[in-house]
Structure 1
Amino acid sequence: MKPPGFFHLNGIGGQIAALVLASTVALHLVVTTAFLIGRPDRQETPPDGAHQLTDAAQLLGAAEASERPRLVADLARAFPRLGIEMLAPGTAAVETSDSPHLREMRRHLPPGFKAVQLAPDGNARRVGIEFPDGTVIAARGDGGPRPMFWGAPWLMALMTAFICVTVLGLWAARTLTRPLSSFAKAAENFSLDRTSEPLPERGPEEIRQVARALNRMQERIARLMADRTRMLAAISHDLRTPITRLRLRAEFIEDEGNRRRMLIDLDQMRSMLESVLSLLRNDRKIEALTLVDIASTLQLIADQFGDMGHVVRYDGPASATAAARPDDLHRGVTNLVENAVRFGAEVTIRLVVSGTTLVIDVEDDGPGISDARKQEMLEPFVRGDDARTMDESTGFGLGLSIARAIAITHGGELSLHDREPHGLIVRMRLPIWQEPRLAA
């Protein structure tokens, strides 16, 4: 018969219940032990130094009266916790008492000696032995001051309860927060190229179930994305042949205008297929990080567009080194500049290095983008507003989304800002040395 979930020791509830039960048993054991040692039910507790006091009384009784002060001083040094002292006859305030420990002391005393209870000295109990001549030696009844506060059973019980509750809290906090931290780290490092390690399936049963579910979910997502990429690759491969045949047949169209428009449409179809595959190609290995001269890369991009007849200039330091993926970074900035030269006459690539962060701004003097659509423009397949309508030279709304994905894989971000008096600023903010996050 399977025990209920609450009492299952493999679960969090069962482990907490077992720990609470063990703490309660330990608390009762400590309280019982303290009770048996302290025995508050007994009226008197035999003093620890009773036998030393009776031995001292016998020694002093056998010595001469003139030797007793010296012997008392020696005994006081030998047993400092007893506090032995000699009292003159008739000076001791004797209390009536017949406690068990006094009767025990009387059994060991010679005839003529009496064990008596003396008046307390402050908080310390005092016992004495009266000699036949009336002289009394006094000592502390418990061999020294008893730490009533720290030795009290209630305080021991309180400290034990505090320790048990503390151990329970620390265990529960570690058991619950450590798996949650590993879940957050695994979600942050999740990668479709399957380079991230699966979650360890250990701990209480509930934690293991969550870990297994997350691992299965990651496998399903990776398998789904791989199937999607293979499907799109197959579609692209199958469409290239009919597109090529259509281009060949379009060459036989006698009408120049219709032939030109048909060729433009076919070129756009081919470019769209290549762009979609470029965006969804997740089965490739992520490019390794290396030290890159960002300034030289940006200057190279500006020169390349300048060679194509565009007005693109670089504004920034002559050299700026950072850890990056060179091909991905080149591709991302190239996409931004392609968008900029499509809608603006002049483009500026600006680099600013500040502390541990570098900022790449691609500025154009085009119509810009309205504030309401800036965030939307970063999504795939979203083209510009009315000021940036699609024509034969327009892309398919993938440039910004690809550049944003590249910025995220570097541990940075991409944002859109207005340029004065008109135009758009696409800002890519990247860390210089920070460990990047894996691409999802």
Structure 2
Amino acid sequence: MIVLPESLKARSLLMLSLIFVLSHGLSIFIYESNRERSILLTEAADLAARISGIVDLAFGFAPNVRQGILDAAQTQFIVTSPDIVPLNTFDCLDNDFAGEVKTRIENAFAHHPDYRVEVCVMSFDSPALLVGLGSENTRDLLVNIQFPDGETASFRATLPLPNSLYGEAILLYLIVVTIAAVLLAWFLILRLIEPIHLLGKAAEDIGSNLKVPPLPETGPRELRVTSAAFNVMQSRLQRLMQSQTEMVAAISHDLKSAITRLQLRAEMLADEHERQGMERVVADIQKMVASIVTFVRGGASREPLQKTNLSYLIESVAEDFRDEGKAVKDDVEDGIQLLCQPSELRRAIHNLLENSLIYAGSVEISLTKKDGNVIIAVQDNGPGIPEAHLKNVLRPFFRCEPSRSDSTGGQGLGLAIVNSVAQFHAGSLELKNRSSGGLLAELRLPLKVSPNSQHRAKKIDPLA
């Protein structure tokens, strides 16, 4: 089974590299297949012209002088003999290549139609006629010539075979060219894939914060169309959320007016018992409306991001509870800085402590750094939360206890607000039941990753 890389970058690079290596290898194979034939034919034509020149020169002298001229014309590649060597004593090749060599040599003597020319292209395993000729790196050639006056001469020549391209040089060439091509391909792939990465990141960001900046509509036409469609979708979602926020604000305004009138009427009741009961009902309604409005508007907070001393922030919240007589213990690592919305984060920490104090007599909060995250841990010695509801309690208005009484936890929005703040800051909220009893709430926030509203500061123009 073929295991492919997980990332699109790696798969694209692998595909381009394979195509590059295969195309180069095929090209070299085709070139190598035809190169030997072409070189040998060129050498044969050159050799034919040389033999023709030697024959023309020798024929201009008397027969008793010709042999001296032929002997003087010998080189390391040509050996002459005064006697014709019968061709049937050799294993002469009979193929297209041999036919082309014969044709080129015969064409070299076309201006001497009275010469009788015989050509034999020998295979590698033919017996050597003369010492020093014939080897695995040569192709032997025999040319018998009979002059018009009956004199003869035989030329034994060698055609050196070209060295194969399949050696160290070609391997070095392939390695160097492949590395250069891979580096160039990696650069181009990074530029092409980066917009897809940004699009995926934007989709992740928009799930927790609709106010992230829009995607830059730059680059190739397909990317511009995709970015524009994504921005339109984000704009529509923003308008939808804005209309919902405005609707809740309008409803809360009308409810507050009605609650105010109801409170005035309650104060006018003559019966003290009835008046106190009515005032408690009005107070519960006010708190309920305030909680809902706070939750809805929390997702639309416009508080600017600030570099905040998180250690001091947590200590100050814990100190406020202790001033109220609550048993809150803090164990905070000093000097931890975080880019955040300080008021929103303060409210989230306050909600965690307040939620634990409702069910437990004492609470401990700690702040540590681990693996590039800050971890705000709040643990208590209360009854904990049933395992089936550990995720449900992060949803708005969900409560393990169905009443909405302040004494048993309020409206079920405290943890939902904390979770919303965590997601805005690219973090998470996790609830666990402690083995020794009680609940552990861990708020994890990344130290080096900017909140979602900052994710798209970088503009990319991929191969526009």
Task: Please report how far the alpha carbon of residue 380 of structure 1 lies from its aligned counterpart in structure 2 after TM superposition.
Answer: 0.6
CA distance in 1, matches of 2:329, 2:192: 55
Q: Give the 3-state SS of the residue equivalent to 1:107 in structure 2.
A: coil
CA distance in 2, matches of 1:421, 1:148: 75
Conserved in 2, the CA contact under 8 Å of 1:312 and 1:347?
Answer: yes
Residue identity opposite 2:144 in structure 1:
E
Question: 1:186-265 counterparts in 2 under 5 A?
Answer: 186-190=202-206, 191-193=209-211, 195-197=213-215, 203=221, 214-265=230-281
Q: Which residue of 2 aligns with 1:100?
A: 103
Q: Which residue of 1 aligns with 2:155?
A: 137
Q: Which residue of 2 aligns with 1:116?
A: 119
Task: Please report how far the alpha carbon of residue 374 of structure 1 lies from its aligned counterpart in structure 2 after TM superposition.
Answer: 0.9
Task: Please report how far the alpha carbon of residue 88 of structure 1 lies from its aligned counterpart in structure 2 after TM superposition.
Answer: 3.6
CA distance in 2, matches of 1:274, 1:203: 48
Q: Of 407, 418, 440, which residue of structure 2 is paired with 1:403?
A: 418
Question: 1:36-75 counterparts in 2 under 5 A?
Answer: 47-61=41-55, 62=57, 65-66=67-68, 68=70, 71-73=73-75
Task: Please report how far the alpha carbon of residue 419 of structure 1 lies from its aligned counterpart in structure 2 after TM superposition.
Answer: 2.9
Conserved in 2, the CA contact under 8 Å of 1:182 and 1:199?
Answer: no
Identify if the C-alpha distance between structure 1 residues 350 and 92 changes in structure 2 by more than 3 Å, giving closer, same or farther: farther
Q: Give the 3-state SS of the residue equivalent to 1:328 in structure 2.
A: helix
TM-score (norm: length of structure 1):
0.70
Q: Give the 3-state SS of the residue equivalent to 2:41 in structure 1.
A: coil
Identify if the C-alpha distance between structure 1 residues 338 and 186 changes in structure 2 by more than 3 Å, giving closer, same or farther: same
CA distance in 1, matches of 2:382, 2:48: 110
Task: Please report how far the alpha carbon of residue 339 of structure 1 lies from its aligned counterpart in structure 2 after TM superposition.
Answer: 0.9
Aligned identity (percent) is 27
Task: Please report how far the alpha carbon of residue 50 of structure 1 lies from its aligned counterpart in structure 2 after TM superposition.
Answer: 3.9
Identify if the C-alpha distance between structure 1 residues 174 and 392 changes in structure 2 by more than 3 Å, giving closer, same or farther: closer
Conserved in 2, the CA contact under 8 Å of 1:127 and 1:140?
Answer: yes
Q: Of 369, 382, 386, which residue of structure 2 is paired with 1:366?
A: 382
Conserved in 2, the CA contact under 8 Å of 1:404 and 1:414?
Answer: yes
Q: Kindly indicate whether residue 441 of structure 2 is the aligned counterpart of residue 426 of structure 1.
A: yes
Q: Kindly indicate whether residue 427 of structure 2 is the aligned counterpart of residue 412 of structure 1.
A: yes
Conserved in 1, the CA contact under 8 Å of 2:378 and 2:442?
Answer: yes
Q: Of 354, 368, 392, which residue of structure 2 is paired with 1:338?
A: 354
Q: Give the 3-state SS of the residue equivalent to 2:123 in structure 1.
A: strand
Identify if the C-alpha distance between structure 1 residues 342 and 208 changes in structure 2 by more than 3 Å, giving closer, same or farther: same
Identify if the C-alpha distance between structure 1 residues 199 and 255 changes in structure 2 by more than 3 Å, giving closer, same or farther: farther
CA distance in 1, matches of 2:245, 2:195: 33
Task: Please report how far the alpha carbon of residue 140 of structure 1 lies from its aligned counterpart in structure 2 after TM superposition.
Answer: 4.9
CA distance in 2, matches of 1:68, 1:383: 115
After superposition, give the CA deviation of every residue in 1:68-117 in whole Å (9 maximum; x if it has no partner): 556433xx5xxxxxxx2214455856268875334313215585463512
Identify if the C-alpha distance between structure 1 residues 235 and 65 changes in structure 2 by more than 3 Å, giving closer, same or farther: same
Task: Please report how far the alpha carbon of residue 432 of structure 1 lies from its aligned counterpart in structure 2 after TM superposition.
Answer: 1.7
Identify if the C-alpha distance between structure 1 residues 239 and 100 changes in structure 2 by more than 3 Å, giving closer, same or farther: same
CA distance in 2, matches of 1:286, 1:70: 103
Q: Give the 3-state SS of the residue equivalent to 1:241 in structure 2.
A: helix
Question: More displaced, 216-225 or 238-247?
Answer: 216-225
Q: How many residues align?
A: 369
Identify if the C-alpha distance between structure 1 residues 396 and 93 changes in structure 2 by more than 3 Å, giving closer, same or farther: farther
CA distance in 2, matches of 1:121, 1:434: 73
Q: Give the 3-state SS of the residue equivalent to 2:383 in structure 1.
A: coil
CA distance in 2, matches of 1:382, 1:324: 27
Conserved in 2, the CA contact under 8 Å of 1:415 and 1:427?
Answer: yes
Q: Give the 3-state SS of the residue equivalent to 1:430 in structure 2.
A: strand
Q: Which residue of 2 aligns with 1:285?
A: 302
Question: What's the RMSD between the two structures over aligned residues?
Answer: 4.1
Gapped runs of 5+ residues in structure 1?
1-26, 39-43, 77-83, 151-169
TM-score (norm: length of structure 2):
0.67
CA distance in 2, matches of 1:45, 1:423: 89
CA distance in 1, matches of 2:198, 2:448: 24
Question: More displaced, 176-185 or 256-265?
Answer: 176-185
Identify if the C-alpha distance between structure 1 residues 351 and 321 changes in structure 2 by more than 3 Å, giving closer, same or farther: same
Question: 1:141-180 counterparts in 2 under 5 A?
Answer: 144-145=161-162
Identify if the C-alpha distance between structure 1 residues 146 and 298 changes in structure 2 by more than 3 Å, giving closer, same or farther: closer
CA distance in 1, matches of 2:50, 2:399: 107
Residue identity opposite 1:356 in structure 2:
G
Q: Which residue of 2 aligns with 1:85?
A: 78
Higher relative contact order (CA 8 A, sep 6+): 2
Q: Give the 3-state SS of the residue equivalent to 2:42 in structure 1.
A: coil
Identify if the C-alpha distance between structure 1 residues 278 and 247 changes in structure 2 by more than 3 Å, giving closer, same or farther: same
Q: Give the 3-state SS of the residue equivalent to 2:201 in structure 1.
A: helix
Conserved in 2, the CA contact under 8 Å of 1:349 and 1:363?
Answer: yes
Residue identity opposite 1:220 in structure 2:
R
Q: Which residue of 2 aligns with 1:127?
A: 141
Task: Please report how far the alpha carbon of residue 335 of structure 1 lies from its aligned counterpart in structure 2 after TM superposition.
Answer: 0.9
Conserved in 2, the CA contact under 8 Å of 1:50 and 1:105?
Answer: no
Residue identity opposite 2:50 in structure 1:
A
Task: Please report how far the alpha carbon of residue 201 of structure 1 lies from its aligned counterpart in structure 2 after TM superposition.
Answer: 9.5
Conserved in 1, the CA contact under 8 Å of 2:121 and 2:141?
Answer: yes
Gapped runs of 5+ residues in structure 2?
1-22, 59-65, 126-135, 168-185, 456-464
Conserved in 2, the CA contact under 8 Å of 1:193 and 1:285?
Answer: no
Identify if the C-alpha distance between structure 1 residues 148 and 428 changes in structure 2 by more than 3 Å, giving closer, same or farther: closer
Conserved in 2, the CA contact under 8 Å of 1:86 and 1:137?
Answer: yes
Task: Please report how far the alpha carbon of residue 351 of structure 1 lies from its aligned counterpart in structure 2 after TM superposition.
Answer: 1.9
Identify if the C-alpha distance between structure 1 residues 139 and 274 changes in structure 2 by more than 3 Å, giving closer, same or farther: farther
Q: Which residue of 2 aligns with 1:158?
A: none
